[in-house]
């Protein structure tokens, strides 16, 4: 590989690092199949369960170790090990392996590998990146239990006290216990994704990370000095003097920008002319919630409840859901939590819940369309959410709503749930709100008619842009046409917030657009005063809000609303961002 070669990758954890490469490849384990006599089946099952207990104990030790090393704003990342501990002690896993040992009379190692492969296949079939990458968690847990069964020590990744960039096929949560945290400067992965738990832990430890390098990663000569750019998704092999200088400047700029973000992160979210702008976090679990400093955000604008369903091997009960929702509400200490009801089906199936194959799942049987059909699922979740409202302000958000009938039907079910619970003497909070997510363009046009049945609306910009442009952003053939700067999209977003205002309904914007600092002045100029985004974008968006003046933002919107091309809009916004 020629010196100075730059390889494109996918940015996963931010930061820039320079160090020699250390390769590690997990070769896997070949385990011979042994026949277990009937009299020895119970002992073999006991050996497997003992290995699971030892693996769970090792995870607890690693979690305690990391809690003192992970950055304060990502402290919840260590909670990933709680999910692994839950999985390794899950009665379904234990039962499936025991059943296979008994039915096939095989040794625990082989039975475990077969069950893990089955689980992993089920997760990999899910057409949703964050959930699909949970297959790595199944594989990681299987690897840890296998090591306990074989009583083998795992290899440690280090360069004897020297700095290094770790190059691996994938980085799993258990690998954190094998790296030299003091000297690992970055992680480059051939496989895996930016949603994986290994990446989340790397980010919490402040380790820059890139993914998606495939087989090219292992072609880099061992010991080669590389620049890992976790901000832009790039790997530079044996950089020349010019490249070293350029990245040195980028690193200094990054340090200055990080300092500004750090200074404003806990400041009030108000513009220069003292207009308050509500900043909300989009999260999928308690781990993310625990990683955000209180002063950074005003509440949770989107809690994706489907992840509580997707990370399990069977439907969670009402009590199990209640426990999770209550912990979230209590953790917010009086700030509002907006829970989106179960949004599965179509492109996000559950591994244990069969739905029909669909030619176009993005437009198919998903969200509220599915849960209104399976009323028991919807009713159970509504009960758990209503009960959780006794501990703090709760909003219930319905996804993928298309018709006014669906809006009314959802409201009738919630009203019945509340009535039933009160008849049972169960406490319900006095600040329980009901709303819908605007993702289907047709519903936005008639939002004034929705006002009678809802307390608020949230604009789901990611899917809304897809549907407006007829572009599947996960389809590589047309993903380049996914353009939130398209003038038609901008006009629609403007119309949405204006109609909501006229109808007297609180309206927030949710999705990737809300997290783009360059986009913020335009959104403020349109009239948005509530934005919900991934937690990582909160500091940069707050800085953009505090740097803005509403009059200037409104003038900016006036200057772009008549443009006919997305690139022209970008040029105006970038010019605006460069102004002092």
Catalytic positions are 197, 510
- The CA distance from 332 to 365, in Å, is 33
Quick one: tokens of 155?
Answer: 């290899």
Tokens 């819940």 belong to residue: 353
- Three-class SS state of 61: helix
- Can you tell me the distance from the alpha carbon of 289 to that of 76, in angstroms, rounded to the nearest whole number? 7
* Angle, helices 91-104/108-124, rounded to nearest 10 degrees: 130
Cα–Cα distance between 435 and 457 in angstroms, integer? 5
Q: 45: closest CA among 149, 150, 152? A: 149
- Is the Cβ–Cβ distance between 411 and 372 less than 8 Å? no
Residue 97 in contact with residue 115, Cβ under 8 Å?
Answer: yes
Query: Radius of gyration of the chain from Cα atoms?
Result: 25
Host H or E run for residue 150: helix 135-150
Q: Is the dihedral of CA 107, 113, 117, 120 positive or negative?
A: positive
Q: Provide the edge-to-edge strand list for the sheet that holds 184-189.
A: 6-8, 234-237, 225-229, 16-24, 164-168, 184-189, 209-211, 10-13
Query: Quick one: 425 exposed, middle or buried, by C-beta within 10 A (0-12, 13-18, 19+)?
Result: exposed
Structural tokens at position 186: 């970055």
Residues 209 and 171: beta-carbon distance below 8 Å: yes
């Amino acid at each position: 590989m020629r010196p100075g070669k730059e390889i494109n990758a996918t940015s996963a954890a931010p930061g820039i690092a320079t160090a020699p490469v250390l390769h590690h490849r997990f070769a896997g384990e070949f385990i011979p199949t042994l026949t277990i006599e009937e009299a020895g089946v119970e002992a073999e099952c006991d050996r497997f369960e003992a290995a699971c207990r030892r693996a769970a104990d090792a995870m607890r030790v690693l979690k305690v170790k990391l809690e003192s090393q992970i950055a304060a704003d990502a402290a919840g990342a260590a909670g990933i090990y709680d999910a692994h501990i839950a999985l390794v002690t899950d009665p379904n896993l234990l039962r499936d392996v025991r059943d296979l040992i008994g039915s096939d009379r095989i040794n625990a190692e082989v039975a475990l590998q077969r069950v893990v492969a089955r689980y992993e296949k089920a997760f990999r079939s899910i057409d949703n990146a964050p959930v699909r990458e949970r297959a790595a968690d199944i594989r990681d847990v299987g690897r840890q239990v296998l090591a306990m069964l074989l009583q083998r020590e795992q290899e440690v990744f280090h360069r004897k006290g020297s700095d290094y960039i770790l190059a691996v096929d994938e980085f799993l949560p258990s690998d954190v216990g094998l790296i030299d945290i003091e000297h690992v400067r970055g992680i480059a992965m051939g496989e895996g994704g930016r949603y994986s738990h290994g990446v989340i832990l790397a980010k919490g430890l402040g380790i820059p990370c890139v993914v998606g390098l495939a087989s090219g990663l292992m072609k880099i000569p061992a010991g080669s000095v590389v620049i890992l750019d976790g901000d832009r998704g790039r790997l530079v092999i044996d950089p020349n003097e010019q490249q070293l200088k350029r990245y040195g400047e980028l690193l200094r700029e990054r340090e200055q920008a990080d300092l500004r973000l750090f200074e404003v992160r806990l400041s009030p979210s108000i513009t220069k002319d003292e207009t308050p702008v509500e900043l909300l976090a989009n999260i999928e679990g308690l781990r993310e919630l625990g990683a955000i400093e209180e002063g950074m955000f005003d509440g949770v604008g989107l809690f994706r409840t489907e992840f509580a369903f997707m990370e399990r091997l069977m439907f969670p009960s009402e009590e199990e859901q209640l426990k999770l929702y209550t912990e979230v509400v209590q953790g917010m200490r009086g700030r509002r939590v907006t829970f989106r009801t179960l949004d599965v089906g179509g492109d996000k199936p559950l591994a244990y819940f069969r739905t029909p194959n669909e030619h176009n799942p993005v437009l198919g049987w998903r969200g509220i369309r599915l849960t209104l059909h399976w009323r028991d699922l919807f009713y159970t979740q509504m009960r758990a959410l209503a009960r959780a409202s006794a501990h703090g302000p709760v909003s219930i958000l319905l996804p993928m709503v298309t018709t006014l009938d669906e809006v009314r039907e959802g409201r009738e079910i919630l009203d019945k749930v509340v009535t039933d619970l009160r008849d049972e003497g169960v406490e319900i909070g006095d600040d329980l709100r009901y709303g819908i997510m605007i993702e289907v363009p047709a519903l936005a046009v008639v939002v004034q008619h929705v006002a009678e049945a809802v307390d608020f609306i949230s604009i789901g910009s990611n899917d809304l842009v897809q549907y407006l442009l007829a572009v599947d952003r996960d389809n590589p053939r047309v993903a380049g046409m996914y353009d939130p700067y398209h003038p038609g999209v901008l006009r629609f977003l403007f119309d949405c917030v204006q109609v909501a205002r006229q109808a007297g309904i609180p309206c927030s914007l949710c999705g990737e657009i809300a997290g783009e600092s360059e986009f913020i002045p335009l959104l403020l100029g349109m009239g948005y005063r509530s934005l919900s985004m991934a937690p990582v974008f909160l500091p940069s968006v707050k800085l953009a809000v505090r740097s803005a003046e509403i009059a200037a933002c409104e003038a900016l919107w006036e200057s772009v609303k008549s443009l006919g091309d997305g690139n022209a809009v970008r040029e105006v916004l970038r010019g605006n961002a460069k102004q002092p």
